Structure 1
Amino acid sequence: MILEMLGLHPTSVELGVIELSETKLTDTQSAALSGRLQALGFELLEDRKRQLVEAIKTTVIELVHRKNDESKLKHSEYISQKLSYDYPYLSKLFSETVGTTIEQFTIHQRIERAKELLAYGESTLSEIADQLSYSSVAALSGQFKKVVGVTPSAWKSGKGARKTLDTIGK
């Protein structure tokens, strides 16, 4: 809706990415779009490195929300292949920009997904561990307690608070 109001024509809209039929925005269009996005709590990323960091975050979130049998690749291999960059470069860029590693960001995303699944109450802890590619319930429980401070069972009975996707890992 915002794009059309500004006379822009999207060809594709996905999580964190909008492709336009226009090859280059005018300064006026860019400023107007940036202002509208900021009013909605978003921002226009024109810097390639910042775009790449956001693409890493989006890819990690996609990985965490997939069923574990959809990708047999290690997370690092999947991210590298999807973004067409060497993983060491992506890892260094992410750490320098975000202040945490991709691995830590992934762990926090997995724990938030575990909280979500626990809150729904439709899956057992064993099913959640399997879905999130943990080697065992003990591995999930140990990491959960390390990150959250309580066991999954204690969290579920106390209905601890969940974090929004943009604040995870901060």
Structure 2
Amino acid sequence: MTLIKMMIESFYIKNMVCPRCIMAVKSILEELKIDYVSVNLGQIDLNQPLSKGDLNQLEIQLKNFGFEILEPGNSSLVSKIKTTLIEQIHYSTEYLNVNFSAFLSDKLNHEYSYLSRLFSSVEGITIEKYITKLRIEKVKELLYYNELSLTQIAYQLGYSSVAYLSTQFKKETGMTPTEFKKLRGPGHKHLDSL
């Protein structure tokens, strides 16, 4: 009996920040007839290495949709930090019972101090500031849809109190959550612009 070892090639994709992004990338792969194992936020796993021609076509199609293949190394690790945080803050239904530094260290198998220095040097802001921006965008979304109270939103996003959430919200947006609710439009930013 012969065992065939499957060779998986992974690519890290910049600006893949939502479930629709995953669907768009799957559509691109299917259109190009590229066999894939999985497509997740920020990452594509393929069954086999791509030829130069296929890779070139993939890069072109991804760029048409605002995505970009990241070179292995620092940029892909920063992208992993971002997608890990986006998944947790915007899409996870499980309450995070550890702090974000421990969560990132565990998920990415790196010391938090290393991740923090790398992120700051590449992005020009700290991971903590990025987390704040993500959380405030989620607060805006939840306020806009008006399904939860501010107390419920504070609990869901791991804020210690409504007062702390309100202080961070005002600092980030220049208005209170109540003032924001009175606006007519959604007022939140796209996650790939953070």
TM-score of the superposed pair, with normalisation by structure 2: 0.81
Moved more, 40-49 or 9-18: 40-49
Partner of 1:2: 28
Give SS of 2:68's match: coil
Give SS of 2:158's match: coil
Answer yes or no: is 1:94 the counterpart of 2:112.
no
User: What is the distance in 1 between the residues matched to 2:164 and 2:70?
Assistant: 37
Letter in 2 for 1:107: T
Partner of 1:46: 71
Aligned-pair identity in percent equals 45
**Residue 47 of structure 1: how far off its partner (Å):** 2.7
Asked whether the equivalents of residues 96 and 158 of structure 2 are also in contact (C-alpha less than 8 Å), the reply is: no
Unaligned stretches of 5+ residues in structure 1: none
Structure having greater relative contact order (Cα 8 Å, sep ≥ 6) = 2
Answer yes or no: is 1:117 the counterpart of 2:142.
yes
User: Which one of 156, 162, 168 corresponds to residue 188 of structure 2?
Assistant: 162
Letter in 1 for 2:164: A
Partner of 2:159: 134
Instruction: Please tell me the root mean square deviation across aligned C-alpha atoms, in Å.
Output: 1.4
After superposition, where does 1:136-155 map in structure 2 within 5 Å? 136-155=161-180
**Residue 27 of structure 1: how far off its partner (Å):** 1.9
Q: Number of aligned residue pairs: give it.
A: 166
User: Which one of 66, 76, 85 corresponds to residue 101 of structure 2?
Assistant: 76
Letter in 1 for 2:116: S
User: What is the distance in 1 between the residues matched to 2:180 and 2:122?
Assistant: 31
User: What is the distance in 2 between the residues matched to 1:119 and 1:164?
Assistant: 15
Letter in 2 for 1:166: D
Unaligned stretches of 5+ residues in structure 2: 1-26
More helix by share: 1
**Residue 51 of structure 1: how far off its partner (Å):** 1.1
